Amino acid sequence: MTLAALVLCTTAAFAQNERREVRRGNRQFGRDKYQESEISYKKALLADSLSAAANYNLANTYYRMENWAEADKAYSAVQDSLVRKPSDIAKRYHNAGNSMLKQRNWQGAIEAYKNALRRNPGDMETKTNLAYAQKMLENEQNQDNQNQDNQDQNQDQNKDQDQNNDQNNDQNKDQNQDQNKDQNNDQNKNDDQNKDNQDQNQNQDQNQDGQQPPQQQPQPKISQQDAQQILQAIQDKEKETQEKVNKEKALLLKSKQKEKNW
C-alpha cells in the first residue's frame, strides 16, 4: 500500500507564493519533517485555497502522520477539474482508499479504489487493495449476520423460556388453587362434622336434662340388736344343718362297713 507520487503539477495560474510554499513543503516532506511540511502546505493554501497540489500533498502529510480523519478531508478537497493528468487523479483516489482502509472503512475504500481504476485500469496495486477491501467487507457483513442470527436465536430462546416460565407459573397457580380448594373443602367438611358433633352433643345434653332420675327404693333400717339376732339365727341354722350332715355321713359309713363284713 504505497503512496502515489507526492507532488502534482501546478498550473501557471498559481500565485508565486503558493508555488514557493508547495516546493518548500515537498522538500520537508522528503526529509520526513511532516510537521514543517504541514505548515508549508497550509501557507500555500492561504495563497490559493483551491490549490490541488497543496491539498493533495497536505493529505499525504496527514497520512504519514497517521491522522486519517484530516487526511480524508484534504483528499476530498482536491477538485478533479483542477488536476491536469488522469494518472494524478487516480493517485489521489488510491491514497484516499488507503486512508479509509486504515480506518476499516471498507465500503469507502472500495469506492475510492474503483474511482482510481476508472482513471488507471491497469494499476495492479489498486486492484490488490480493492480485492482486500472487498474481502474485509464481506467478512464484516458475515460476522454481522452471524451476530444478528445469534441475537435472534437468543431472543427466541428467551421468548421460549419466558413462555415456559409463564406456563409453569400458570400450572403452579392452578395447582395451588386446586390445593387451596381441596383444603377449603376439607376444612368445610371438618367444620360441618364439628357442627354435627356439636348438635349431637347438644341433643344429648338436652335429652339428659329432660330425663327423670330413676326412683330409688327406700332401704329399711334395722337396729344393731336386731342385726345381731338375725346373725345368731343364721349361725344356729348353719350349725343345725352341719350336725344333720354329719349324722347322715356317719350312717352312710356304717352302712358301707356292714356290707363289707357280711
Domains along the sequence of the chain with CATH: 16-140 (1.25.40.10)
Query: The whole model's pTM is what?
Result: 0.54
- Predicted local confidence at residue 1, as pLDDT: 59
C-alpha cell of residue 112: 475510492
Average pLDDT over residues 120-138: 95
Pairwise CA distance, residues 196 & 183, whole Å: 19
pLDDT tens per residue across span 209-259: 444 433 333 444 556 676 677 778 778 878 888 888 777 776 665 544 433
Pairwise CA distance, residues 252 & 2, whole Å: 163
Q: 32 — alpha (psi -120 to 50), left (phi > 0) or beta?
A: left
Who's near 109: CB < 8 A, 6+ residues apart?
97, 98, 100, 101, 129, 130, 133
- For the CA atoms of 139, 140, 145, 151, what is the dihedral angle to 10 degrees? 130
- Predicted local confidence at residue 9, as pLDDT: 43
> In degrees, to the nearest 5, what angle opens at C-alpha 220 toward C-alphas 217 and 225?
165
pLDDT tens per residue across span 78-103: 999 888 899 999 999 999 999 999 99
Ranked by mean pLDDT, the top range of 127-136, 187-196, 211-220 is: 127-136
Name the burial class of residue 23, with classes exposed (0-12), middle (13-18) and buried (19+) by CB atoms within 10 angstroms of its CB. Answer: middle
Average pLDDT over residues 122-130: 95
Mean of the per-residue pLDDT values for the chain? Answer: 79
